[in-house]
Amino acid sequence: MHGNMTRRGLLAVSGLSLAAPAARAPAAPVSIGKCDGYGDGLAAVLGKQFDQIGGIGKLVGGKTVAIKLNLTGSSRLGSYSPGQTHWVHPNLVGTCCQLLARAGAKRIRLLEGAGRGESLEEKMLNGGWDVAALRAAAPVVELEDTNRVGGGKRYSRLKVARPYVYPAFDLNRAYEDTDVFLNLSKLKQHEECGITLTIKNSFGITPNSTYGDDAGVDEPNESWRRGREAILHYGKRQPPKSAPQEVDFTSERFEGHRVPRICVDLIAARPVDLAIIDGIECSTGGEGPWVKGFQYAKPGVLIVGSNPVCTDAVATAVMGYNPRAKRGETPFHRMTAAKPGELQWADNPMLLAEAVGIGIADLDLIDVRGVPIKDALYDFENRRKG
């Protein structure tokens, strides 16, 4: 099907197609499923949702599928496991692997940035995951820590056709060396950006070696120790010279401006083929327990779609928010009090993505299947405010 084209070539073509006007941004069906927990009924619900969006057999049959997980941070809220609050749940990951294998996927790669001094397996084990069970969920399940160059030996450069901040990114090769890219995120809020769904989950595909605060000036730092604030959040410095530099060094440095745009650049560079949002058990009040006011929540929903913007728009509505809300309107602002004089707005990443043709964020144009939004509604804002 791909002829002689390389994956890199395919990604570039896909990026070029995004140059179309915003009005022609694609829409795709999104399925909402209700699910009480991560037990036996999960596979049936998720399988039905895959069917509702048109099935996954054609997409994954005989292919390599890479899954970007959401395993942010390493701390936990009280006695809850991370999978119950701010990480995707391991049983959902395992179920997903089983269903992908059943649909014909030949190789599944689980991708996420591990913390300093640990492998991805160790990060999962520290979160209470049964990694052996996960590996056994499909014939070939591999783990790759994408905060480093890893097994690929060199980084892949993935380009952005209509960039906001970066014209391209240097990423772990696992993001290029795959036929299908699945983004598995958590239904939750975000302290600075308002929401954390598929688009925001793409922030984590950037390697700390290159985009971390202690990245080298000239080259990536494979022994990185720090997070991604100085370069990506605040633009206080540029990535190593070996990596693509910003389009405009004089642009706004405020993170509410930068982070949503960088996330949109990232889903343009590494397009999402399938998005799954885990809202069975999750949290309100922020992206992790380190945010003041973070609380456990149980909306009991799963949201599945093939277009990341449409999927996030539906998920935003399920959270009780307007997916077309503008900068500074709820939920697109800081959740915790800003210091006097500090800005506190954030841009809506779905509208930014829509503007560059990645997908539609208009509920009127999205075919929502399965459970209607009104029946899946879980009011994050009121619960956050308690």
Partner 1 sequence: MGLGSRIAGMALVCATLEAGGPAGWIPARWQGGPLEVRRRGGAAVSEITRDWYDSRTLDFLENTPINCLLVTWSAGAEAALEAEQRKLVTSYARAAHRRGIAVLGLLYPGADPGPAAAAARKAGLDGLVLDGDVQDPAKVAGELRKRCPVVIPLGRRDWLWPEADWPVWGTREAVRAGIRAVSDSDTVYATPTSEPWIESNTWLVRSLGAAGGGRPVWLGNVLENPSADGYVRAIADAAAGGGRWVVAPDDTLRAGLWRGQPEALATWRRVGAWLNFYEQHAEWRAFAPAAALGVIQDRAGKNSAVMDENLNQIARRRIPYRVIERRELTPAAIEGLPAVLAIGLAPPTERERGLLAAYAGAGRMVVYKQDPPGPEAFAKDLRDLIGSANLPVRLYDAASVLLQAGADPGGGRLVVQLVSYATEPPERILVRAAGDYRGARVFSPDAPPADLKTNTSAGTTDVLLGKLAVYAAVVFEK
Place of tokens 């014939």: 139
In the numeric block, which tokens belong to residue 19? 């140059």
Q: Is 307 in the site for partner 1 (CB under 8 A)?
A: no
Shorter beta-carbon distance to partner 1: residue 73 or 152: 73
Q: How far is the CB of 221 from partner 1 (least distance, A)?
A: 12
CA 299/CA 166 separation, integer angstroms: 35
Binding mask 211-250 for partner 1 (x = CB under 8 A): ------------x-x-x-----------------------
Q: How far is CA 245 from CA 6, 12, 15, 147, 210, in A?
A: 25, 18, 18, 19, 11
Q: How far is CA 311 from CA 64, 274, 278, 294, 365, in A?
A: 22, 9, 12, 24, 12
Cα–Cα nearest to 278, from 194, 199, 187: 187
* CB 189 within 8 Å of CB 316: no
Q: How far is the CB of 231 from partner 1 (least distance, A)?
A: 17
Shorter beta-carbon distance to partner 1: residue 208 or 348: 208
Q: How far is the CB of 79 from partner 1 (least distance, A)?
A: 5
Q: Is 295 in the site for partner 1 (CB under 8 A)?
A: no
* CB 101 within 8 Å of CB 144: no
Shorter beta-carbon distance to partner 1: residue 175 or 294: 294
Q: Is 78 in the site for partner 1 (CB under 8 A)?
A: yes
Which residues ranging from 23 to 42 are in contact with partner 1 (CB under 8 A)? none
Considering only residues 116, 241, 253, 385, which one is a binding residue for partner 1 as defined by CB under 8 A?
A: 116
Q: Which amino acid is at 141?
A: V
Considering only residues 43, 54, 102, 118, which one is a binding residue for partner 1 as defined by CB under 8 A?
A: 118
Cα 302–Cα 369–Cα 17 angle in degrees, nearest 5: 90
Helix axes 90-102, 42-52, angle to 10 degrees: 50
Q: Is 200 in the site for partner 1 (CB under 8 A)?
A: no
Q: Is 79 in the site for partner 1 (CB under 8 A)?
A: yes
Place of tokens 């093939």: 306
Classify the C-alpha dihedral 196-215-339-352 as positive or negative. negative
Considering only residues 122, 142, 367, 379, which one is a binding residue for partner 1 as defined by CB under 8 A?
A: 122
Q: Is 119 in the site for partner 1 (CB under 8 A)?
A: yes
Give the single-character DSSP code of 152: G
Which residues ranging from 275 to 294 are in contact with partner 1 (CB under 8 A)? 288-290
CA 100/CA 62 separation, integer angstroms: 10
Shorter beta-carbon distance to partner 1: residue 52 or 189: 189
Shorter beta-carbon distance to partner 1: residue 75 or 250: 75
Considering only residues 14, 74, 251, 322, which one is a binding residue for partner 1 as defined by CB under 8 A?
A: 74
Q: Is 132 in the site for partner 1 (CB under 8 A)?
A: yes
Rounded to the nearest angstrom, the gap between the alpha carbon of residue 307 and the centroid of all alpha carbons in its chain is 12
Considering only residues 54, 73, 167, 328, which one is a binding residue for partner 1 as defined by CB under 8 A?
A: 73
Cα–Cα nearest to 299, from 47, 32, 28: 32
Shorter beta-carbon distance to partner 1: residue 74 or 251: 74
Give the single-character DSSP code of 82: H
* CB 211 within 8 Å of CB 165: no
Q: What is the contact surface with partner 1 in residues (CB under 8 A)?
A: 72-76, 78-79, 115-119, 122, 125-128, 132, 223, 225, 227, 288-290
